[in-house]
Amino acid sequence: MIIKIIMNTDLFYREFGKILKRLRVAAGLTQGELAERIGLSRTSVTNIEVGRQKIPIHFLFILSSTLGVDPVQLLPQKEKLSEQYPETKGFSEVLRDNPDLNNAGQNWLSRVLKPYLTEEHDNEDEKGRKGS
């Protein structure tokens, strides 16, 4: 069994949302004002800021030019995202419930819970070890 190095997309959009919110506030805009300028509903902006709504790539440019920042500034730090995450539903729920955990904490938790929460085994890792 291996832990795939994957990007936790939920985490990506949550991080993205946090950054967006920070930059929006810094630009002195309300959610409603930003929504109007980029042609979305206020609810959409709210959802984007909490990571519930996943935006198309071109919105990165619309948002950055509206906020007067470089598009890169809207992107989360890679270190925060490419961690070892088990893919089980249970585990992502665990992380969601514990947003305060840093990477070391998440890794530790992953090592603790992964053996128990995995329902499907990774076939690649099982190659050559069948029957063991």
Partner 1 sequence: MKMRRAEREANRIIDEMEITSPPVMIEDIAKRHGAKIHYEPFEGDDDISGVLYNDEKNCIIGINSSHSRTRQRFTIAHELGHLVLHNKKFFVDKAVKVSFRDKRSSMAIDNNEIEANQFAAEILMPRTLIEKEIRKLIVKKNYIQNKELFIKELASKFAVSFQSMEFRLNNLGILISL
Per rule CB under 8 A, is residue 3 in the interface with partner 1?
no
Distances from the Cα of 112 to the Cαs of 51, 64, 88, in angstroms?
27, 40, 13
- Work out the end-to-end distance of the chain between its first and last CA atoms, rounded to an integer number of angstroms: 12
For 87, half-sphere exposure in the C-beta direction (CA atoms, 13 angstrom radius) is 12
- For residues 69 and 66, give the distance between their C-alpha atoms in angstroms, rounded to a whole number: 8
CB of 109 to partner 1, least distance (A): 6
CB of 88 to partner 1, least distance (A): 10
* Per-residue interface string for the shown chain with partner 1, residues 98-127, x marking contact by CB under 8 A: x--xx-xx-xxx-xxx-xxx----------
- Total interface residues for partner 1 by CB under 8 A: 18
CB of 98 to partner 1, least distance (A): 6
Q: Which of 57, 77, 97, 128 binds partner 1 (CB under 8 A)?
A: 97
Smaller CB separation from partner 1, 32 or 90: 90
Which residues does 92 contact at the CB level (< 8 Å), separation at least 6? 8, 10, 85
Q: Which residues pair with 5 in a beta bridge?
A: 84
By CB under 8 A, name the binding residues for partner 1: 90, 93-94, 97-98, 101-102, 104-105, 107-109, 111-113, 115-117
